[in-house]
């Protein structure tokens, strides 16, 4: 081998060129082989991912809006990925417990989170949470967006947003609103800031108890998720004054947006999306993102989501990361203006 190598090394210029080309080809082949091996290695690439069940953590109790989205997504995602996707509920601390669990999980694509507006854009700026909404995760894809609904008790003598604002200004600090978590509270704070009104918060441990209190006439108004409030509105038990999003919801097409109803520029949407622990390999993240887009395009899941007053919304990992950062900046400003930090 040594004599052969010496002969080649001391050959003509054309021989040296041939050797350089041969070495270059060898290095390219080696690099391609290494990339192929990394792509196929579990946890390092997406070649055979997933080769075992994937866990999708829902940081809330079964039956809520986020959990409902998680279960529908998991069912469709199992079909797309050809591997079981199991939903695990890890509720507590307004979603912080389950969110922290995923932040600390192995970044291999087998433990994912269905995060939402509250856990990523509100709670971290009101309470001390054991995760960083930006640094602890990498976004995979948004899944849904929905408007919260501004509802009023049937006992309250208002039938529109303008009526509510006028009554609140006439009786500052007299009207109350229910809030089951930091999310509806911060949306109401934005409403108060943009209408220069003063209403008193009544905290509840869940949307269910807040709605029961409103049906009993103990709560004047509240922002509630569409999936929870729309049934009571359609049954005539509550009055829907407006929806908080940028456009009307198909589930309540006759109800205007708050911007249409007299508060220009108002927009507050609830959203869900899949996150992975920071450091999850990019090939896995992109494969998951594409799989989620395919899953959320299924007709049955689109119909079910629409029936709940929401809409499927998917995105690339880069788009979702940028969206989360923008949402965090926006709602932190509302928290700071209301001086709410440390009060939850």
What DSSP line would sit under 26-47, residue for residue?
HHHHHHHHHHHHHHHSTTT-SS
Identify the pLDDT of residue 18: 42
Q: Which CATH number belongs to the domain containing residue 234 in this structure?
A: 3.40.190.10
| 18 within domain boundaries | no
| pLDDT value, residue 343 | 58
pLDDT of amino acid 53: 97
110 within domain boundaries: yes
Domain co-membership, 211 together with 288: no
> What's the pLDDT at 14?
42
* Together in a domain, 294 and 321: yes
Expressed in angstroms, the distance from the first to the final Cα of the chain is 74
CA angle 327, 274, 181 (to 5 degrees): 55
* Claim to verify: residue 140 and residue 186 sit in the same structural domain: no
What pLDDT score was predicted for residue 344?
A: 57
Domain final position from 194, 226, 243: 243
Q: What is the pLDDT of residue 321?
A: 97
Residues with Cβ within 8 Å of residue 65, at least 6 apart in sequence:
146, 225, 227, 228, 270, 272, 308
239/278 same-domain check: no
Residue 165, in any domain of the structure = yes
> What pLDDT is attached to residue 16?
41
Q: Is residue 13 one of the residues assigned to a domain?
A: no
Is 276 in the same domain as 237? no
pLDDT for 340: 86
pLDDT on residue 19 = 39
In this prediction, residue 45 carries a pLDDT of 57
Distances (CA, A) of 56 to 14, 82, 101, 113, 290: 59, 15, 11, 6, 16
- pTM, rounded to two decimals: 0.81
What pLDDT was estimated at residue 181?
79
Residues 152 and 237 in one domain: yes
Long-range contacts of 98-103 (CB under 8 A, 24+ apart): 98/57, 98/58, 98/59, 98/60, 99/59, 99/129, 99/131, 100/129, 100/130, 100/131, 101/57, 101/59, 102/57, 102/137, 102/275, 102/276, 102/277, 103/130, 103/131, 103/132, 103/136, 103/137, 103/277, 103/278
In a domain, 122, yes or no: yes
Q: Which helix or strand (DSSP H or E) is residue 56 part of?
A: strand 54-58
Residue 4 lies in a domain: no
Residue 10 within a domain: no
Q: Are residues 110 and 157 in the same domain?
A: no
* CATH number, position 293: 3.40.190.150
Last residue of a domain, one of 243, 261, 281: 243
Q: Are 123 and 114 in contact (CB under 8 A)?
A: no
| Domain shared by 318 and 304, yes or no | yes
Same domain for 199 and 66, yes or no, is: no
Q: Could you list the residue range(s) of the whole structural domain that residue 166 is in?
A: 147-243
pLDDT of the chain, 344 residues: tens digit per residue: 433 333 333 333 444 444 344 444 443 344 333 333 333 333 345 789 999 999 999 999 887 778 889 999 999 999 999 999 999 999 999 999 999 999 999 999 999 999 999 999 999 999 999 999 999 999 999 999 988 899 999 999 999 999 999 999 999 999 999 997 788 999 999 999 999 999 999 998 877 888 899 999 999 999 988 878 888 999 999 999 999 999 998 889 999 999 999 999 999 999 999 999 999 999 999 999 999 999 999 999 999 888 888 899 999 999 999 999 999 999 999 999 999 886 55
234 to 31, 147, 151, 182, 323: CA distances (angstroms): 62, 16, 12, 26, 33
Q: Are residues 129 and 162 in the same domain?
A: no
Domain boundary among 243, 259, 279: 243
Statement to judge: residues 172 and 182 lie in one domain? yes
Strands 269-277 and 111-116: antiparallel
Q: Is residue 94 part of a domain?
A: yes
What are 235's two structure tokens?
Answer: 């049954």
Domain count, the chain: 2
On whether both 221 and 305 belong to a single domain, the answer is no
Query: Which residues lie closer than 8 Å to 336 by C-beta, 6 or more apart?
Result: 125
Query: What is the rounded distance in angstroms from the CA atom of residue 67 to the CA atom of residue 69?
Result: 5
């Amino acid at each position: 081998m040594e004599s052969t190598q010496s002969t080649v090394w001391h050959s003509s210029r054309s021989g040296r060129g041939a050797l350089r080309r041969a070495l270059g080809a060898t290095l390219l082949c080696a690099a391609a082989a290494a990339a192929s091996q990394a792509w196929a290695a579990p946890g390092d690439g997406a070649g055979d991912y997933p080769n075992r069940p994937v866990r999708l953590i829902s940081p809330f109790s079964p039956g809520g809006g986020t959990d409902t989205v998680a279960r529908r997504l998991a069912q469709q995602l199992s079909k797309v990925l050809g591997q079981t996707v199991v939903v695990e509920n890890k509720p507590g601390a307004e979603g912080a417990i389950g969110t922290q669990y995923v932040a600390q999980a192995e970044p291999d694509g087998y433990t994912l989170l269905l995060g939402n507006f509250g856990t990523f854009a509100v709670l971290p700026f009101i309470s001390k949470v054991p995760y960083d909404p930006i640094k602890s995760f990498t976004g995979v894809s948004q899944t849904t967006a929905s408007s919260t609904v501004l509802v009023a008790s049937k006992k309250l003598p208002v039938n529109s947003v303008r009526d509510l604002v006028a009554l609140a200004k006439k009786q500052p600090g007299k009207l109350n609103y229910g809030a089951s978590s930091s999310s509806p509270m911060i949306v109401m704070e934005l409403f108060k800031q943009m209408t220069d009104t003063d209403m008193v918060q009544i905290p509840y441990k869940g949307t269910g108890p807040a709605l029961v209190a409103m049906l009993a006439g103990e709560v004047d108004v509240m922002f509630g998720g569409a999936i929870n409030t729309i049934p009571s509105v359609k049954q005539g038990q509550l009055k829907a004054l407006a929806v908080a999003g940028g456009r009307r919801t198909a589930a309540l097409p006759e109800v205007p947006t708050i911007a249409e109803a007299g508060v220009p520029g108002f927009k507050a949407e609830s959203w869900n999306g899949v996150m992975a622990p920071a450091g999850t390999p990019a090939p896995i993240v992109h494969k998951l993102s594409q799989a989620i887009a395919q899953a959320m395009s299924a007709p049955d899941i689109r119909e079910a989501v629409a029936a709940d007053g929401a809409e499927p919304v998917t995105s690339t990992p880069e788009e979702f990361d940028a969206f989360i950062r923008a949402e965090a900046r926006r709602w932190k400003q509302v928290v700071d203006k209301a001086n709410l930090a440390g009060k939850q």
